[in-house]
Amino acid sequence: MRLSKWMASLCLVAATSSLQAQPLTLASGELLRLPSSASEQQSLSVVLASGSTLLVPRHVSELHLQQLTMESGARLTIAPRSETFNLVIDQASFADGSIISGRGAKGRVGTDGGRGLDLTLTIKELNIENLVIDISGGQGGSGWNGVPGEDGNQAGCFGWSNSSEGTSGGSGHQGARGGDGGNLTLRLSDSRALEVIDVIQSGGAGGDGGQGGLAGKGGVEKSCWLYSRDGATSGQSGLQGSAGASGQQGVLRVN
């Protein structure tokens, strides 16, 4: 009985080892999201064919790859998070047009753009044609629109009720601030690779200012039996809000 259990355990270990030895391969144009069940993900080998995308969710804090092969236009996208993400690659091969991305999210109306990913990238052995690392900040959200003006009242024929003026619209709000670019720490086995690595750490652009509120319409002219009452003037449209401030550039460190 104990021998049977031991044999079953041995078979399970062998099957698991065989599964881990298989490379994770994405076909051309394929999109795959890593499971977020474990905070640290490890895989022996990852192959990203041309135009494919591997998504790393927010709950994965570290990714250690023994081998990473990225063909032209392949993308490794890492969701931004508050803490620094650690990416360790034992052997890497980057074709021209390979992209590692951790861009900040675009802000919604009235909210700032997201900060770009803070990334520590360690590559022990490297074969590279070109690599783009984009951890720029997200664009700020647009400002809220101004409140529209109220329409004036229309004059009446009886009594002394004259037309009233429309009120002016409120000014649009300032656009939200762009997100800051992420910080990058590069640890490379060969510093000459820096010549073909393009790092984008710019701060996100500020959001557009909100539209000014519409002018309220003045009361219209009223024709009565023996006389008429003049209409009133409309208000003015509100001013366009100013654009938001841009985010700050991230910091690059090479160790």
**What was the pLDDT predicted at 21?**
52
Residue 19 has pLDDT above 50, yes or no: no
The structure's pTM equals 0.79
Quick check: is 121 in a domain?
yes
- Which of 10-14, 220-224, 226-230, 235-239 has the highest average model confidence (pLDDT)? 235-239
pLDDT band, residue 37 (cuts 50/70/90): low
- Indicate if the pLDDT at residue 102 is higher than 50: yes
Is 100 within the bounds of a domain?
yes
Mean pLDDT across 183-188:
96
45 belongs to a structural domain: yes
Neighbours of 130 (CB within 10 A): 15
Asked whether the predicted pLDDT for residue 20 surpasses 60, the reply is: no
Q: Is residue 236 part of a domain?
A: no
Q: Calculate the average pLDDT of the chain.
A: 86
Nearest to 89 by CA among 199, 195, 189, 237: 189
- Closest among 87, 139, 132 to 116, alpha carbons compared: 139
How many Cα atoms within 13 Å fall on the side-chain side of residue 95? 13
228 belongs to a structural domain: no
Tell me how many domains the chain contains: 1
Residue 11 domain flag: no
